[in-house]
Structure 1
């Protein structure tokens, strides 16, 4: 349970982190933050997350449940204002042109920017995200960093494993999860970041310490219009710029054709980049390695040294996962 201090904000906070109201005045007090009308209570800041259309029933439910302030997309401002007038509501309204991105940034501010004080490692790619996020967590734990997990199957925010709601949670829930991990004494979180989450700005407002690209194969074309769109969505994490303008270190699988493309685009960017793969020219590559049904044994060559590995995970694909995860922990 997150402490009560971060659960209530005043007018000064709203004036600092929200767009100026276009209808009414900012309320004296905000008691909560939600983009789900079912969880709105008296005093809540309700964010109307939507696309080209919005559900009026959700808006009405938020109003009826006591929302104190609305943040809506600019494209729907006139429609929302008209509905509020028809319903006889005088709730103040703020508007933004980028509701998805604004949601994450505002949620981060609501919870006192938790990812600034945590080492957040984001893993993206078609295959290997789950294994790599677990491996990264184990490596960081072995190095003495108490590390949480936000994954496809499991969450661990420092108070035990629970089933994950989705690959990458919504922007508001994600920032609250970071805050919960911080309060539980975590110093790092290893997390999977899906292409859907990147396209929908669910990680907006997050300060990443490292980002990891595993590979890209044909998938999710039911969501992304083309394979190029899928690649561009994934690449957003690798090319990430943090809210303060800093850039996380990037760890990229150079054996993958799209990883090679990303490495070429990162060349000369000024950010720290670690490549990994089988070619000795990569920053992280195998030394003497034996792969069998019993697992992987051998040495991994790193910038300035060598590391001995012993894993029960079989297969060359897991050797790649191990190399990438080591890179994230460097």
Structure 2
């Protein structure tokens, strides 16, 4: 990204600043809409089933020479409703080419509850109506400024060296669902505090708009045309343990698993629930590939058999979600 900034350009990377573009994409032989089109489609969501990354091509978007505008903001838990209403309004109104981006995090550090958001305008606009509601609350910290996109991303880079316990979930973009998630989050942190396990827990929320299903239909295997019936919210629940406390991971995973299932069941009781699970946020026990839908599973199996007939990546490459197990 820093290289592209010399040309006033940017590309889409991961939510966390240390996750580069390569951490999101999978490539292999020359694959595009004209050549090996089935592989081109299956690679987007196929994980480690099909090959090893060698190179990828990207579309860029313009960033002003003066930089993007944005950064982290922090609010008190008492202002959670304002943040929820603002975020749901944003997540439900994202149009094609929207220059702003936001995600929200429910945080618990040493038992202290807070809400954090990353609010960014890639076109450098400091007065976007999207973020006006933040003017109505007292922010405990506001790190927004005009700066290169790479520096904004760097403010949310994980330091590494910790043990992470993640779960993925998709939710409806409604205040009721977000408030239920907050209630479950509070109950989970209290339950974990009672065990004296030294864990930090976050619930992260970012937009998953329905219009993703119409962006080059059939150009990936994520199944948004079927598993994304309405504007939704992509969520990651993450427990973070120090490497020296990894033996406590089983306790944390069980408690988090119950909390996430409670939230999933609540979300599924309303119309418009999305079954999509995001691979980069998922727990190893979650059925990521199955969440793409039967048609995508069949395509991935057929593509894996075609380009890897010996099943090398199914049997000899450990880790990840293997389509042969679906």
TM-score (norm 1): 0.28
Larger relative contact order (C-alpha < 8 A, sep ≥ 6)? 2
Q: Based on CA coordinates, which of the two structures has the bigger radius of gyration?
A: 1
